[in-house]
Amino acid sequence: MIIYYAGLMSISDDIYEAAKIDGCGFWNTLFRITIPNLSGTTNTLILLGIVGSLKTFDIVIQTTGGGPGRSTEFLNTYLYKAGVQQFNGGLSAAIGVMVLIIAVMLSLIQLAFNKRANN
């Protein structure tokens, strides 16, 4: 929310004043000025969300440990169990590489959508 607030503060008041003079109402101002000017902020937050979701580890390990069964196990908790608890360094390295590949692919997909939206 703080990043969105900073994005809102970066939009010039002159743009809103010109829209008000042109007769734009609240909804026109929202959909034609505010949301398009926040698209860069939104894309940044989506990329941060993708990276953050792939770093899910501490809460799961502290609360459930990946259980019951494997119901709350993520790639990172599986990586930890394979590498630290089962002493399987090769499997944990492979899982780490897969997490990296997934993060890069999701980021590239988001950047492609962003580029297509800007064109």
Residue 54 gets the label, from left (phi > 0), alpha (psi -120 to 50) or beta, of: alpha
Torsion of CA 50, 52, 53, 59, to 10 degrees: 180
List pLDDT tens digits, range 16-71. 999 999 999 999 999 999 999 998 899 889 888 888 888 888 888 889 887 888 88
| CA 16 to centroid of chain Cα atoms | 29
List pLDDT tens digits, range 74-110. 888 999 999 999 999 999 999 999 999 998 999 899 8
Kindly report the number of other CB atoms within 10 A of residue 79's CB atom: 19
- Residue 5: pLDDT over 80: yes
Q: In 3D, which of 50, 45, 33, 40 has the Cα closest to residue 114?
A: 40
Residues contacting residue 56 through CB under 8 Å, at least 6 positions apart: 74, 76, 77
